Amino acid sequence: MASIEDKNPDLRVYIGSTVLFMYLVISTIIIAPLVLLCIGSSFSLRYQVAIFWIKCLFFVLRITCNLTYEVKGLENLPKQNGYIVLSKHQSAWETIALRLFLPPQTTLLKKSLLQIPIWGWALSTLKPIAIDRKNQRQALKMLMKQGVQRLNEGMLVVIFPEGTRVAPGEKKKFNAGGAMLAHKTGAPVIPVAHNSGHYWPRYSFLKFPGKIQVRIGPAIKTIGKSAKEINAEAQAWIENAMTEFE
């Protein structure tokens, strides 16, 4: 697969990416207040409003940028919710897309995102686990506390263990927070690999045409395993799966 550096964007890429950006801005201005207006109603309703926005976004993404996705391995998802997803992190794509094909979830994210007017306020109503990365000890404590609560509520806890977006072809050591939560709760871990960075590059305005490939791995049993063992098993599966996209 060609690297991002080898891609030569044509006029269609620039036009499609611009139209998509305009749609993102306008739709967010409309949907975020709607989510806030639902604050007195059920979490399920707020979540469904957010999902509706995501479905519309991916429809527009397909039309404007000719970018789609394919998921394999859905049969590996546990029948019951309340598990942890450790996902590869290459772009902003997966932070949105995972909500389309995985059950209701909470995501570990930077606390500063919730301070963004309107959009961040709406995001805060969707039960995220918001942490201050500058305070590692407090962040881990928050993850353990709220992670257990969300798992007990039957939600998925989605974590990007690399901690930041990593360019295709590069590797970064997994942070242990997700594995520690799994060790504490005994919740199974689902590893997820994908190649979103080839089409929705990190920190890039441009979105390239193609089909993002997503692979969902078999559940990793965590009972009786150390956090180090869990992390190593998840990282090994993801890195091996990533070779399918290269």
Q: How many H helices and E strands in the chain? A: 7, 7
pLDDT score of 161: 95
**HSE, side-chain direction, 13 A CA sphere, residue 58:** 20
pLDDT score of 172: 93
How many Å apart are CA 94 and CA 164, to the nearest integer?
Answer: 12
Classified by CATH at the fold level, domain 4-245 comes out as Glycerol-3-phosphate (1)-acyltransferase (3.40.1130)
Q: Is 147 helix (H, G, I), strand (E, B) or coil?
A: helix
pLDDT score of 4: 54
Query: Alpha carbon of 240 to those of 36, 95, 237, 245: distances in Å?
Result: 41, 22, 5, 10
pLDDT in tens, 33-86: 999 999 989 999 999 999 999 999 999 999 999 999 999 999 999 998 899 999
pLDDT score of 58: 97
For the chain, the structural domain boundaries read 4-245
How many Å apart are CA 39 and CA 34, to the nearest integer?
Answer: 9
pLDDT score of 135: 86
pLDDT score of 6: 58
Residues of the chain scoring pLDDT < 70:
1-6, 246
